[in-house]
């Protein structure tokens, strides 16, 4: 089954001292037991995680979410807010939500994008 993305959200986050005080195995255990179980029943979303702390100080990580529809994304955010991810382990600095090539869809033109090798 293909995954058709209707919107993409870039969740810009910053680790908190609480998260950093945990040893790495404790962090992984907390993520697997306190956060992921709340997300397992949400269909229509997928994610990728990026470390950015070595390039800036305001945002330490970016969690990119792709969603099949707005409702799936909204359910995801509500679920995350019910976990220690939100404001205990991480500060959500900014949410940037957009539609890839939305202008091209709106105006019936080809998307402006670069193509690499």
Report the number of distinct structural domains present in the chain: 1
1 belongs to a structural domain: no
114 belongs to a structural domain: no
Average pLDDT of 11-39? 96
Tens of pLDDT, residue by residue over 55-76, are: 988 999 999 999 999 999 999 9
Contacts of 95 (CB under 8 A, 6+ apart): 9, 10, 11, 12, 77
pTM score above 0.75: yes
Domain of residue 97 covers 7-107
């Amino acid at each position: 089954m293909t995954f058709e993305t209707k919107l993409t959200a870039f969740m810009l986050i910053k680790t908190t001292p609480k998260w950093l005080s945990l040893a790495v195995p404790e962090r992984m255990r907390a993520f697997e037991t306190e956060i992921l179980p709340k997300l397992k029943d949400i269909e229509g979303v997928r994610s990728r995680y990026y470390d950015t702390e070595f390039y800036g100080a305001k945002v330490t990580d970016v969690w990119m979410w792709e969603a099949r529809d707005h409702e799936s994304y909204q359910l995801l955010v509500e679920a995350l807010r019910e976990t220690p991810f939100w404001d205990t382990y991480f500060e959500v600095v900014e949410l940037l939500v957009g539609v890839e090539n939305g202008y091209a869809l709106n105006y019936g033109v080809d998307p402006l994008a670069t193509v690499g090798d």
